[in-house]
Amino acid sequence: MTVRWITGFLDTPSRVAEPFWQAVTGSGLSPRRGPGGEFATLRPAGGDPYLRVQVVGDGPARAHLDLHVTDVAAQARRAVALGASVLADEGELVVLRSPAGLPWCLVAWHGEANRPAGARSLVDQMCLDVPAGVFDAEAGFWAAVTGWPRRPGSRPEFQALVRPPGMPLRLLLQRVDAPAGMHLDLACTDRAAEVAWHEQLGARVVAGHERWTTLRDPAGRTYCVTDRPV
């Protein structure tokens, strides 16, 4: 599969966290789309959009990935052959589930190619939290689906997929002793200052680590602020 672009979705039962993510990313909000106005795009100051918000009918607040491709139907068939299951097929949008239970989507590519840049911080990674017992199989699945090579992460519980140049989000897989899920990570130049700013905007610190801080946004969604170059 040739992934042309990647989008991170913030799925929330309400719009309560949208102002927070606009502030954190320095983005504007597009006109709302969908029958109930449930979709909107976070528009960066420069580059092509790669983050979107969605009001969903159930909780908890969470995140998922959209992979943008040139032939959705063909790539959906390929994903199924690799072990994915189809949850919904709307032509240019196919909703799937990975073998470990992670929901994600295949969508049509519309020419997005310019990765936005950040100054003090940047949302630049989606972390796939995978139960330890199925980690190796799930990592192999995502490497096969994306065509991105696997490499060891910075710690034994991590593996990274090497993204092509210009792709806006990295993909990191993490072994966890919890149900499968996804969360966004931000790179920043000054983690202490970044975390303090997020708290002022309504986030709450959950845990601190040597190289990252885990927080919850105003909707209760977990994400991380990390010591990585912007």
Q: Provide Rg for the chain, Cα atoms.
A: 17
Domain ranges for the chain: 5-108, 121-226
Can you read off the two tokens belonging to residue 178? 């919890």
H or E element, residue 214: strand 212-216
* 20-72 pLDDT per residue, tens: 999 999 999 999 999 999 999 999 999 999 999 999 988 899 999 999 999 99
Pick the CATH number of 5-108 from 3.40.50.620, 3.40.50.2300, 3.10.180.10, 3.20.20.70: 3.10.180.10
For residue 60, how many C-alpha atoms fall within 13 Å in the half-sphere facing its CB? Answer: 11
Mean pLDDT of the chain: 96
CA 143 – CA 183 distance, rounded (Å): 18
* 94-117 pLDDT per residue, tens: 999 999 999 999 999 999 999 999
Which pLDDT score, from 0 to 100, does residue 155 have? 86
| Residues linked to residue 63 through DSSP beta bridges, in sequence order | 10
Task: Tell the burial category of 82 from Cβ atoms under 10 Å away from its Cβ (0-12, 13-18, 19+).
Answer: middle
At residue 131, what is the residue type?
P
CB contact at 8 A, 135 and 82: no
H or E element, residue 22: helix 18-25
Grouping H, G, I as helix, E, B as strand and the rest as coil, residue 91 is coil
CA 11 – CA 14 distance, rounded (Å): 9
Question: Do 121-226 and 5-108 have the same topology in CATH?
Answer: yes
Which pLDDT score, from 0 to 100, does residue 172 have? 98
Can you read off the two tokens belonging to residue 80? 């199924």
Compute how many other C-beta atoms are within 10 angstroms of the C-beta atom of residue 115.
Answer: 19
* 81-91 pLDDT per residue, tens: 999 999 999 99
Which pLDDT score, from 0 to 100, does residue 154 have? 82
CA 44 – CA 230 distance, rounded (Å): 15
State the residue for tokens 């200052």.
Answer: 193
Which pLDDT score, from 0 to 100, does residue 229 have? 87
* 147-167 pLDDT per residue, tens: 999 999 888 889 999 999 999
- Tell me the CATH number for domain 121-226: 3.10.180.10
Which pLDDT score, from 0 to 100, does residue 45 have? 92
Task: Tell the burial category of 155 from Cβ atoms under 10 Å away from its Cβ (0-12, 13-18, 19+).
Answer: exposed
CA 175 – CA 128 distance, rounded (Å): 9
pLDDT surpasses 80 at 79 = yes
Can you read off the two tokens belonging to residue 139? 């990592």
